[in-house]
Chain A
Amino acid sequence: MTQTTANHLFGPLDPAAEAGYPDHPPRLGFFTDTTVCIGCKACEVACKEWNNVPEDGIDFLGLSYDNTGSLGASTWRHVAFIEQASIEQPKPLGAQEPGVTGRHAPVVDLGMPSTAPPGTTAGADGRTEFRWLMSSDVCKHCTHAACLDVCPTGALFRTEFGTVVVQQDVCNGCGYCVPACPYGVIDQRKGDGRAWKCTLCYDRLQGGLTPACAKACPTESIQFGVLDELRERAAARVEQLHAAGISDARLYGADPTDGVGGAGAFFLLLDEPEVYGLPPDPVVTTRDLPSMWLHAGAAALTLLAGVVSTFWGRR
């Protein structure tokens, strides 16, 4: 384990309090349990509708059922689809297996024909084991948000709910937040110039409503709530899955001591993060900012010394 001392730029803290809200509501976020995602993309559609996000290119990408591609200025929820064929060990899929159904009542076997793709059920020799992963990605609303840290206008700000939002009437489109994000979430919108990303439906939160994507999710793969409660729920879910023999289940972004101080939107994954297009162990770039300024200061003094020495005592 690589240990780094916690400070204002790194490690666990309460982001809303850090941002100067002395008295604020509990931190809100998403827990996306990918084991129950069915890839319906209702989250993508609901987000577009509620937030009036424009069309983002009608493309055929040929990436399984993914024609969205990635998060961007006009894509604030993105469902990833990964088709995995494995001849060796069958890899179970969580809720799609009987008996591992999350918070709901156990499934009763009615003896109906299976809807699972051929090969996922044990049996017939010579069949290829097949697994189809689906995951709805979103802005992580980091505890230490690099986009917010590097924004030179103050357009990106921390809300009272601990989320990260762009003020569109302030953003001047400098684009610095785009390469700062360790997850490649935020982007500049073509023709508009400004930076856009998920607001965790700030307007709905202020009205006491659930964000559009979580509201529309038919399987509760996207769960919305108080972050501390979501973390407890997620830990219990992982235990349940491990007990059911699904040893691949792991949380991503739930640990407040991780490289971004814990994500406000975290995930339960069934494979390595990079399989889903996520960085395996991201660290907020500003963790190293003190070192960067120190090196720049040393370089500046070196330049000063270099110039002075070229004039010193000689004609």
Chain B
Amino acid sequence: MVPEAEFTSYYGRPVVKAPRWSWDIPAYLFLGGLSGGSAMLGAGGDLSGRPALRRAGRLGGLAAITASVGLLVHDVGRPERFLNMLRVAKPTSPMSMGTWIISAYAPGIGVAAVSELLPVLPRAIRDSPLGAVLRVSARPAGLAAAAIAPAVASYTAVLLADTAVPAWHEAHRELPFVFIGSSAASAAGLGLVFAPVGEAGPARRLATFGAIMELGTSRRIENQLGLAGEAFTTGKPARLLATASNLTAGGVLLATLLARRSRLAAVVAGVALLAGGVFERFGLYHAGIESANDPKYTVVPQRRRLEQEGPVRADS
């Protein structure tokens, strides 16, 4: 525990402003990550001859990205102007880049997922030219989406880090690895729930990979970031993140030990991993909010840096 820092502020009021976003945004972070991981799992299932895993990945990927974009539209102050995001492409704006990444990603996962519905669609559609096009384009579309999916899973870390919110900005090196880990673990959870035990091998291994990335990097954030790390280890964010860790670790343990033999264990493990992903995103989100609302997180590190290294200056 870092000793309570003494600092001056203007009547304890925040220096920076927390985003005015609602629960939409952490939910969007979770669903975007889930979609990216699922699309990759689906493409892997496609190439390795695991039809149930392929179907789960593609349909889960489309459902998650659709819901995630829905939340994003809902969260902006003027939803009718949402498409103004497509006026410009700005590398300095992770939200602009993200909009373009999702715009490139969604059609591929859409085609791949809709092709999975062909067997249940009316015969007239199946036998139509549209049905034929869907059948032929499903694999390339799914692979194209899977190629963009890693960007879908990781850009949201830059979205949070590219702010003056102390906890997010200070964690800008670590957050992408937490996010891809969480994305992998959530997608693995989806695979464990929907694919039979015989096809779920990659999902079980992906759960281990995701949990190691997510939990390992989270420890680093908590221990190496100095005062900013405290935002992750105290109060409500700490409780959310501890629940996330327990669910994810429990899910992986169950997936590794029992999910090979028991479908029920696989489903329970999958649900735990998905729930762990939700708690992880809400915990990271609220750590940022708390660090913006408490002037300590802005003033103390800047003051310390000033005293130890002097002001930040560009050499011109």
Residues of A within 8 A of B (CB): 1-6, 9-12, 63, 69-70, 80, 82, 146, 149-155, 170-176, 178-184, 186-188, 192-195, 255-259, 261, 272, 274-283, 285-286, 288-289, 291-293, 295-304, 306-311, 314-315
The count of chain B contact residues (Cβ–Cβ below 8 Å) is 88
Task: Count A/B pairs, Cβ under 8 Å.
Answer: 292
Provide the bound-state CA to CA distance between A271 and B205, in Å: 57
The 10 listed contacts between A and B (C-beta, < 8 Å) are: A2-B313, A5-B315, A182-B16, A280-B303, A283-B312, A285-B169, A299-B176, A300-B153, A306-B209, A310-B44
Chain A residues, CB < 8 A from B36: 303
Expressed in whole angstroms, the minimum distance between the Cβ of A311 and any Cβ of chain B is: 4
Interface of B is mostly: helix
CB within 8 Å for A292 and B96 given contacts A302-B180, A307-B184: no
Given contacts A69-B13, A152-B90, A314-B201, contact A306 B164 (CB under 8 A): no
CB neighbours (8 Å) of B161 from chain A are 285, 288, 292
Cβ-closest 5 pairs across A and B: A173-B77, A193-B77, A277-B10, A11-B314, A299-B176
Decide if B172 touches A288 in the complex (CB within 8 Å).
yes
Contacts A170-B87, A258-B311, A306-B184 known; A311 to B48 CB distance under 8 Å? yes
B155, A281: Cβ atoms closer than 8 Å: no
- Give the CA-CA distance A184 to B19 in the complex, in Å: 10
Report whether A172 and B154 are in contact in the complex, using a CB–CB cutoff of 8 Å: no
Whether a CB of chain A sits under 8 angstroms from the CB of B231 is no
B213 and A173 contacting across the interface, CB-CB below 8 Å: no
- A194→B15 contact, CB < 8 A: no
Which of B93, B169, B176 counts the most chain A CB atoms within 10 A? B93
Is the beta-carbon distance between A188 and B15 smaller than 8 angstroms? no
Taking CB atoms, residues of chain B closer than 8 Å to A187 are 17, 20
Chain A residues closer than 8 Å to B222, beta-carbon distance = none
Q: Taking the nearest CB of chain A, how far is it from the CB of B212, in angstroms?
A: 9
Complex Cα spacing A70 to B12, Å:
12
Q: Is the CB of A281 within 8 A of B209?
A: no
Question: Across the interface, do B164 and A282 meet the contact criterion of CB distance under 8 Å?
Answer: yes
Nearest-Cβ distance from residue B304 to partner chain A, whole angstroms:
9
Measured between alpha carbons, how far is A37 from B94 in the docked complex, in Å? 40
Contact B311 A1 (CB under 8 A): yes
B154 and A1 contacting across the interface, CB-CB below 8 Å:
no
Nearest CB on B from A272, distance (A)? 6
Q: Does B128 contact A (CB under 8 A)?
A: no
Structural contact, B311 and A146, CB atoms closer than 8 A: no
Q: Does B292 contact A (CB under 8 A)?
A: yes
Q: Which residues of B contact A311 (CB under 8 A)?
A: 44, 47-48, 202
Q: Please report which residues of chain B, range 165-188, place their CB below 8 angstroms from some CB of chain A when the two chains form the complex.
A: 165, 169, 172-173, 175-177, 179-180, 183-184
Q: Do B90 and A154 have beta carbons less than 8 Å apart?
A: yes
Known contacts A179-B165, A281-B305; A292/B206 CB under 8 A: no
Which chain B residues border A285 with CB–CB below 8 Å? 161-164, 169
